[in-house]
Amino acid sequence: MRIPSDGFVTLGRSSVDQSAVTGESIPVDKAPLGARTPRGDQPVPAESRIYAGTVNGPGVLESEVMKLSRDSTLARVVRMVSETQAQTSPTQRFTDRFQRVFVPAVLILVVVLLIAGLVIDEPFSATLYRALAVLVAASPCALAISTPSAVLSGLARAARGGLLIKGGGPLENLGTLRAIAFDKTGTLTEGKPEMTDVERAAGVTETELLSVALAVESKSDHPLAAAIVTAARDRLDGTPLLKVGAVTSITGRGVSALIDGEEIHIGKQGLFSEIDGASLTREITETAARLEASGRTTMVVRRGIRYLGVLGLMDTPRDSAATVVTRLRRAGIRHMIALR
């Protein structure tokens, strides 16, 4: 369910999809704040803070609202976009100021020329011709609509190419840009996690590791579980699915199940310090640390007392990302920043 307002968790644990607000492709685990209730400008820890417009995962959360709907993070984003769209370019502002004087002046001059026949001795047709010639040459209407028409044309052309430009100001400034900041998730990347690494422990086959992970995670509705299931099926290529029983979701930590009477645990490293059984081995700890240092989200797999290995997941780059960055550099963009 979509979270209705900014606040903090007071009861329950769950994973929340915050990609619409923070750009994080991996759901963020949320836990209760505890007995301390923040007041005023006191900060709320990230693991307890929730935002309006984000989507709750498998768990149930109770929260306390901290802000009015008009002051929520989502409302402020909408307000910022609206204010940006109202911005006009420097050329538009200059044209608007100039035409306030120029257009009335031309119209007054045309009227004066129309009555010039009363002062000088000439046919009215000649007077009318002269007035119309001045009106056409000065062309105040063209001046008034030229810049807005050019801006509208540019915005429409960009929109047909899938590019949203928020007003004439940003459109005119495009020609002077030397730096671009990318929202990494969904822009340079696919916007969804994929399993990229399968690190098996000594004496364990990749087939055993993936078979166990596939059987258990196929019973879970977590986004990371879906990524593991998709990749494991591709790698196993038709290997029969193991029978799984007693599947239990450990919200914010992982999942447990039974296969052939053996207890299976798949989850974060912190899970294995909270449950009974064999402690994390040095090999597993070092492997998980190495994968996390390279930007992966890690899932440790344990079967009974044996650790089978570590699975690494991350939001993978789009195929076209490298080409886009290269072409932007050729266009004169010197600095490119990816926001996490």
- Residues tagged active-site: 183
Closest CA to 265 of 307, 203, 297, 206: 307
Structural contact between residues 304 and 261, judged by C-beta atoms closer than 8 angstroms:
no
Q: Which helix (H) or strand (E) holds 229?
A: helix 223-236
Q: Which two tokens stand for residue 180?
A: 């671009």
Instruction: Determine the Cα–Cα distance for residues 228 and 196; give it in Å rounded to an integer.
Output: 9
Distances in whole angstroms, Cα of residue 242 to Cα of each of 93, 204, 206, 208, 231: 69, 17, 15, 10, 16
Q: What pairs with residue 180 in β-bridges? A: 336
Q: Please give the order of strands across the beta sheet that includes 297-303.
A: 189-200, 306-317, 297-303, 262-267, 254-259, 245-250
Structural contact between residues 3 and 21, judged by C-beta atoms closer than 8 angstroms:
no
| Terminal-to-terminal C-alpha distance of the chain | 25
Strands 306-317 and 179-183: unpaired
